[in-house]
A and B are shown apart, each in its own frame.
Chain A
Amino acid sequence: MKPRWKGKGSQAKANADPMSKIVSQLQSSLIQSETRGLLSSCSVLVEVDAELADLLNRSCFGRPRITAQEDKQWFQLDMEEAFYLCFSLKCLKVIGENGYIKSNEELWDYLKSKKPVFPVSYKVYSHLRHKNWVVRSGLQYGVDFVAYCHHPALVHSEYAVLVLSEGDNDLNGRLRVWSDVHCTVRLCGSVAKTLLTVIVNSNNQGANSPSCLEHYTVEEQTITRWNPERSREDQTGPKNGTKKV
């Protein structure tokens, strides 16, 4: 699956500016500034200066909120993004409604209460982010996430990601019937993305605390539609670069 870069020079730009490095800079900067996030319903709000705002934008964490403030900017982080910064990168602390910093366990419980599939969803998010893929919400495409190999300004997202689970934490009911496979694959195709299912097995570890996550196993799978009308003459495989037949 080859990435579709946007315009000339994008690929070179991306190669010169690896995502792992940007994320690492974000991590250092957040630690240094002792940034605190405010827990608000299903988001975490952070107030940042220009340097951090730039790093958040370049690493694709959160969305800037429009405010009248000039010197500082506010960013809104999704659940998975916030927890990744807190728990995986250990560079952010979140303050709850009582004004105190929430521990990882407390944050985990809170996020689970808001979104029962959060443990599995987070496992997939962190799995892809760890491999330095940019992961954003896939809601507008009817999937859980979309994955880019670098910043969305430079490249089109290749994968529409659906989180599936097997084992005891089977809360996600997607792709159980053929009509859903048809629907999802068709939608992905119409937005030029490959459907990537990431299947999480909790291995009976439950989801009581974030430490359970390291025992979860993850498998990736692509689901693609094959069109017999198009593949007849082409011995080398369909044009989108996937393997032969």
Chain B
Amino acid sequence: MATHIAPLRKLWALHVLDGNDIHLSLKELYEKLSNGKSGCYWELFEVYKHLRSLGYVVGRHGIPWSVKGQHIKSGTCSLEGSQESNEMLEMEPKDENSVIELFNNMQITDVSPAFNVYLPNSKFRKSSPGDPSFVLYISRCSPPSRVEIEALERKHGAIPFKFCHVENGRVSFFSFAKTELPVLS
């Protein structure tokens, strides 16, 4: 599934094409996003949409940029902004449940690395993306503890990381950074 996003600031519309270049209705899109097995979650989509509409380059952490010719199994989801992408999202059988109920079933309970984000206007190329400007974690439960932050700092080294909190359609980004105030004279 390739996602082509129209200028969201003006239109707030999302045109979604599936592997067969058929427009999906909003209901179908939401149903796909609600399906936990595909690995796509509603909050991930909200964050992705938010950053993409502002021009950031966003890739799913752990998924390579170039997977031409590969068939991705269910359990992964690539939300690249590129129209050249030919990843496919496996469709799961539709439920009879209403769309609203599907929303209620969706949750992210763990803090797990979600996206690699690159600044807009950075000289980004899929063939050699380089290090992301930052790695983004999506949090739903509680803010990270000091111990968690320290572990992430060790894990990511020089690459900054941020936390994103999504609630009520509001997407907020926070940086937690270990510091040490200097000794003054």
Interface residue ranges, A against B (CB under 8 Å) = 15, 18-20, 128, 131-133, 147, 149-150, 159, 164, 166, 175-178, 181-182, 185, 196-197, 199, 219-229, 231-233, 235, 243-245
With A19-B184, A232-B120 as known contacts, state yes or no: A219 contacts B173, CB within 8 Å: no
Contact residues in B for A219 (Cβ distance below 8 Å): 146, 178
| Nearest opposing residue in chain B for A130, CB measure | B183
Q: Is B103's beta carbon under 8 Å from chain A?
A: no
Contact B179 A131 (CB under 8 A): no
CA distance A245 to B173 in the complex (A): 11
Contact residues in A for B182 (Cβ distance below 8 Å): 131
- Tell me the residues in window 157-185 of chain B with beta carbons closer than 8 Å to chain A beta carbons: 160, 162, 165, 167, 172-185
Q: Is B55's beta carbon under 8 Å from chain A?
A: yes
A164, A220, A226: the one within 8 Å of B178 (CB): A220
Q: Is B98's beta carbon under 8 Å from chain A?
A: no
With A132-B183, A223-B175, A245-B134 as known contacts, state yes or no: A228 contacts B56, CB within 8 Å: yes
Contact residues in B for A133 (Cβ distance below 8 Å): 181, 184
Contact residues in A for B149 (Cβ distance below 8 Å): 221
Contact residues in A for B121 (Cβ distance below 8 Å): 232-233, 235
A147, A177, A182, A244: the one within 8 Å of B142 (CB): A177
Interface class of chain A by DSSP:
mixed
Bin chain B's interface residue count: 35 or more
Contact B142 A228 (CB under 8 A): no
Q: Is B61's beta carbon under 8 Å from chain A?
A: no
CA distance A131 to B162 in the complex (A): 29
With A232-B56, A233-B121, A245-B133 as known contacts, state yes or no: A159 contacts B174, CB within 8 Å: no
| Nearest opposing residue in chain A for B166, CB measure | A178
Contact residues in B for A18 (Cβ distance below 8 Å): 184-185
Contact A19 B175 (CB under 8 A): no
Contact B172 A131 (CB under 8 A): no
Q: Which has the most chain A C-beta neighbours within 10 Å: B120, B145, B174?
A: B174
Q: Which has the most chain A C-beta neighbours within 10 Å: B121, B145, B175, B183?
A: B175
Contact A221 B177 (CB under 8 A): yes
With A131-B184, A223-B176, A225-B172 as known contacts, state yes or no: A199 contacts B165, CB within 8 Å: no
Least distance between B148 CB and chain A CB atoms (Å): 11
